[in-house]
Amino acid sequence: MEFEISDRMKTVLKMIDDFMIKEIVPLEPEFLNREFKEMLPVLEEKRNMVKQMELWAPNHPKEYGGMGLGLMEHALVSEALGYSPLGHYIFGCQAPDAGNVELLYHYGTEDQKAQYLAPLVEGKIRSCFAMTEPEVAGSNPIMLQATAEKDGDDYVINGHKWFASSAEGAAFAIAMLVTDTGPNANPYLKASMIIVPTDTPGFNLVRNIPVMGHRGSDYASHGEILFQNCRVPRTNLLGPEGHGFIMAQERLGPGRIHHCMRWLGVCRRSMELMINFALERVIAPGNKTLSTRQIIQLWAAECEADVLAARLMTLHAAWKAEKLGQKEARYDISFLKFFVANVMQKVVDRAMQVHGGIGVSDYSILSFFYRQERAARVYDGTDEIHKFAASRRVFEKYKGRKTLW
């Protein structure tokens, strides 16, 4: 593997780091203690500053106002933005909008791009992605039950979705729906993606699902949606009918790399907090600090080694996907998601332990990372599903190879 960081990207990353420290991190105490929607005016000010710096929408297409960065470049940016939970939102590359932009760019009609893609990249509107259903196991998406049945020039949608992140305040959802309900339907070709404006009659945002006691609001929320005879034009079909799972897989590969680099940003922030607290916290006469304790030293070394390994693994997968294509990178990506998610959880947990009572309080950003990022081992496929898929590739790789003894 060979990759270099260009002088331009070094400058971009330095600008992002400086902006994060000066403009975004100081907002975190307010972020931890207020509703997200109450912060929208100040967040919009910061977004406008990012646009003036020409750093807006780093991974989105240039022709729609983004920077047009490749997967490797955006991986580095995503790591830098992961330093704060507000980073990706303020720079206009937050999930689930980032994935929806890719879907619309590759599969949208010209009308769909004008109506949804352009304002989405500009940050004028937001979107959500509705796939997971409470009645069926998310680990087996071919069991989806929500349907979109043809009626003249329309689809009529009925079904129940939840954990549709950022549904509150979104202008539209991209919903995964069963369009072939026949008894002989191919289970992998029965679902389609359909654009559903959230003001459509029959689109009902039931509630925001509390996550570890926090309901959230606006962008920082996870919605439960009930479709009740929700009627949209058949022109709202995104991509070919029946290609929902194919499109979802294409969305997930880069998305997992983006997630992993964001998690490495979380690790970087947690490591900084842990080390600096250990260096400053006096625990015994003679100005002896936590950093003099062997267990803290061991944690620091172990965590740093894990982060370095996870970072190299992620960058290698990004490089391979960009240079050789997603198909060639599947082996690497299958290990990536569960490994990096567990490294992040370990590093955040260790940092909280070092901080003691402060670590579990909202005086530190660590408790937010712990609450919100625990789900990293669940969404986009549980650890167990990824390990199972990865094990098959391991057996395929080594099957038939002979030892020398």
Residue 2 has pLDDT above 70, yes or no: no
Q: What pLDDT sits at residue 167?
A: 97
Q: What pLDDT sits at residue 368?
A: 94
48-52, 299-303, 312-316 — which is least confidently predicted?
312-316
Fold that domain 245-398 belongs to in CATH: Butyryl-CoA Dehydrogenase, subunit A; domain 3 (1.20.140)
Please state the pTM of the whole predicted model. Answer: 0.93
User: Which candidate, 301, 298, 303, places its Cα nearest to that of 269?
Assistant: 303
Q: What pLDDT sits at residue 4?
A: 78
Q: What is the mean pLDDT of residues 78-82?
A: 96
Q: Residue 403: which pLDDT band, with cuts at 50, 70 and 90?
A: low
Residue 262 has pLDDT above 90, yes or no: yes
Q: What percent of the chain has pLDDT over 70?
A: 98
Q: Residue 164 is inside which H or E element, if any?
A: strand 154-165
Residue 55 has pLDDT above 60, yes or no: yes
Q: What pLDDT sits at residue 254?
A: 80
Residue 107 to residue 119: CA distance in whole angstroms? 17
Q: Residue 176: which pLDDT band, with cuts at 50, 70 and 90?
A: very high
Residue 362 to residue 364: CA distance in whole angstroms? 5
Q: Residue 5: which pLDDT band, with cuts at 50, 70 and 90?
A: confident
CATH of domain 127-241: 2.40.110.10
Domain ranges within the chain, ordered by starting residue? 7-94, 127-241, 245-398
Q: What is the mean pLDDT of residues 129-133?
A: 95
User: Which candidate, 265, 263, 267, places its Cα nearest to that of 255?
Assistant: 263
Residue 27 to residue 91: CA distance in whole angstroms? 15
Residue 246 has pLDDT above 70, yes or no: yes
Q: What is the mean pLDDT of residues 65-82?
A: 94
Residue 354 to residue 372: CA distance in whole angstroms? 20
Q: What pLDDT sits at residue 304?
A: 98
Q: What percent of the chain has pLDDT over 90?
A: 79
Q: Residue 250: which pLDDT band, with cuts at 50, 70 and 90?
A: confident
Alpha-carbon distances, residue 324 vs 107, 241, 259 (angstroms): 22, 28, 20
Q: What pLDDT sits at residue 17?
A: 97
Q: What pLDDT sits at residue 381?
A: 81
Say how many C-beta atoms besides its own lie within 10 A of residue 399's C-beta: 7
Q: What pLDDT sits at residue 404?
A: 61
Residue 258 to residue 260: CA distance in whole angstroms? 6
Residue 333 has pLDDT above 80, yes or no: yes
Q: What is the helix, strand, coil percentage profile of the chain, to 5?
A: 55, 15, 30
For the segment(s) 7-94, the CATH number from 1.10.540.10, 3.40.50.2300, 1.10.3210.10, 3.60.15.10 is 1.10.540.10
Q: What is the mean pLDDT of residues 117-136?
A: 96
Q: What is the mean pLDDT of residues 141-146?
A: 90
* Contact indicator for 127, 114 with CB cutoff of 8 Å: no
Residue 1 has pLDDT above 70, yes or no: no
Q: What is the mean pLDDT of residues 53-71?
A: 95
Q: What is the mean pLDDT of residues 305-332?
A: 91
Q: What pLDDT sits at residue 76?
A: 94
Q: What pLDDT sits at residue 405?
A: 60
* Domains 7-94 and 245-398 belong to one CATH topology: no
Q: What pLDDT sits at residue 3?
A: 65
304-306-309-313 Cα dihedral, nearest 10 degrees? -130
- For 321, counting Cβ atoms within 10 Å of its Cβ (0-12 exposed, 13-18 middle, 19+ buried), the class is buried
148 vs 3, residue with greater confidence: 148
Q: What pLDDT sits at residue 244?
A: 95
User: How does the average pLDDT of the chain come out, rounded?
Assistant: 93
